[in-house]
């Protein structure tokens, strides 16, 4: 779902231009960024349920618990508000939280409500990954919508060489997202 998260951030950039693209891209992946050191130190793990795209159960009980993500979204939103105003702050917080919502859609039930799955509450996940066709289509749609909206925003109000540059930046962004999806599908990295 790496590429899908980026697609959403690109779409948001078109609507909230005061927040830089890098901040939206980072916000959309923030809980996966936190997941990396926890994964490397074996605190959070990934269990393969088969080969190929989305065949995994992710035990990310701290970085991906509903409560941790809500707290992180509020804190990041408050920080972002200092730089990009009220609307920017709200957007960044919402984009941080959007990662969890998209994960909820695709993950098998492995997302805890409380950190460390405290109280052994039911794990959440709607499991769209069970159908690689459905989940890949959803991700492609997010990439397409994000690229289209970003491109339209980037070229608006520009002309001549600036427009060409803006168009190129949109195409590069779309290609990078497709490469992310391809690496996911081919299970590289
Ligand atoms: Zn995630």
pLDDT tens digit sequence for 11-44: 999 999 999 999 999 999 999 999 999 999 999 9
Distance from the CA of 99 to the center of ligand 1, in angstroms? 6
pLDDT tens digit sequence for 115-149: 999 999 999 999 999 988 888 899 899 999 999 99
Query: Under DSSP, is residue 57 helix (H, G, I), strand (E, B) or coil?
Result: strand
Distance from the CA of 122 to the center of ligand 1, in angstroms? 18
At 116 the pLDDT is 95
Q: What number of H helices and E strands is found in the chain?
A: 5, 2
Q: State which H helix or E strand residue 48 sits in.
A: strand 45-48
How far apart CA 105 and CA 127 sit, in angstroms, is 6
Distance from the CA of 47 to the center of ligand 1, in angstroms? 14
pLDDT tens digit sequence for 142-185: 999 999 999 889 888 788 888 888 888 888 888 888 888 887 77
Question: At which residue do the structure tokens 């050191």 appear?
Answer: 37
Distance from the CA of 158 to the center of ligand 1, in angstroms? 36
Give the tokens for residue 168: 């190129």
pLDDT, greater one: 77 or 151: 77
Distance from the CA of 20 to the center of ligand 1, in angstroms? 22
Distance from the CA of 111 to the center of ligand 1, in angstroms? 10
At 51 the pLDDT is 78
Distance from the CA of 87 to the center of ligand 1, in angstroms? 25
- What are the residues whose beta carbons fall under 8 Å from the beta carbon of 141, sequence distance 6 or more? none
User: What's the Rg (C-alpha) of the chain?
Assistant: 17
At 189 the pLDDT is 44
pTM of the entire predicted model: 0.89
**Domain spans of the chain?**
2-185
At 52 the pLDDT is 75
Using alpha carbons, select from 168, 124, 136, 132 the residue that is nearest to residue 150.
168
Given pLDDT bands bounded at 50, 70 and 90, which one contains residue 188?
A: low
Given pLDDT bands bounded at 50, 70 and 90, which one contains residue 187?
A: low
Distance from the CA of 156 to the center of ligand 1, in angstroms? 33
Distance from the CA of 161 to the center of ligand 1, in angstroms? 38
Give the tokens for residue 97: 């939280």
Q: What is the mean pLDDT of residues 87-113?
A: 96
At 84 the pLDDT is 97
Distance from the CA of 31 to the center of ligand 1, in angstroms? 6
- What are the residues whose beta carbons fall under 8 Å from the beta carbon of 182, sequence distance 6 or more? none
């Amino acid at each position: 779902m790496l590429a899908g998260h980026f697609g959403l951030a690109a779409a948001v950039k078109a609507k909230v231009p005061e927040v830089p693209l890098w901040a939206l891209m980072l916000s959309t992946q923030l809980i996966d960024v936190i997941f990396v050191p926890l994964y490397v130190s074996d605190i959070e793990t990934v269990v393969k349920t088969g080969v190929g795209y989305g065949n995994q159960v992710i035990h990310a009980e701290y970085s991906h618990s509903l409560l941790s993500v809500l707290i992180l979204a509020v804190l990041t939103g408050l920080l972002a508000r200092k730089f990009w105003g009220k609307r920017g702050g709200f957007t960044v917080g919402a984009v941080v939280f959007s990662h969890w919502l998209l994960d909820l859609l695709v993950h098998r039930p492995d997302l805890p409500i409380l950190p460390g799955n405290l109280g052994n509450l039911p794990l959440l996940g709607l499991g769209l990954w069970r159908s690689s066709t459905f989940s890949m289509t959803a991700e492609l749609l997010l990439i397409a919508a994000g690229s289209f909206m970003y491109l339209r925003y980037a070229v608006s109000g520009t002309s001549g060489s600036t427009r060409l540059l803006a168009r190129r930046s949109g195409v590069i962004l779309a290609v990078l997202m497709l490469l992310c999806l391809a690496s996911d599908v081919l299970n590289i990295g």
